[in-house]
Amino acid sequence: MTPFGERVRQLRRERGLMLKDMAAHLGVSSAYLSALERGERGKPTWTLIQGVLQYFNIIWDEADELARLADLSDPRVKIDTSNTNHRATLFANRLAREIGNLSEDDVEDMLAILDNAQERERRAVTPVQAPQDAAYDSSPGP
């Protein structure tokens, strides 16, 4: 199951909606929508995402979150390691081979590492306000 598929299924079930009714509204087959929910289909199109948002009457932050989940829901990921070191390439290849053997705890630990790396990058990009120059400090000195 993909993050997008899991969230769509959760929304549909919370609202007591039938898969076949949602599929008809979106103009797709029940089989396709079921496969999308289970993660057996690739990343949904922009048009389908917009249809899902409209179907559930989702706006603002929740709409942004669902679109973000759709972007992270390609079950056939391709990783370009051409601009990284050899260890990153090794890691990507090992992950591709071993991901099915990882426990839920292993996956959660790796996600936490990636979240920390993303936060570090976000902090590095955020401009830090420089302290005021002491030469221009008008407060009384010692």
pTM of the model: 0.66
Contacts of residue 33, defined as CB under 8 A and 6 or more positions apart, other chains included, come to 19, 22, 23, 26
Residue 136's pLDDT band (cuts 50, 70, 90): very low
Give me the mean pLDDT over the 48-67 stretch. Answer: 95
- CATH class of the domain at 3-71: mainly alpha
So what's the pLDDT on residue 74? Answer: 85
Over residues 74-78, mean pLDDT = 84
**Residue range 78-92: mean pLDDT, rounded:** 93
The 3-state DSSP composition of the chain as helix, strand, coil percent (nearest 5) reads: 65, 0, 35
54 or 134, which is more confident? 54
In the predicted structure, residue 139 carries a pLDDT above the cut 70: no
Domain spans of the chain, in order of start: 3-71, 86-125
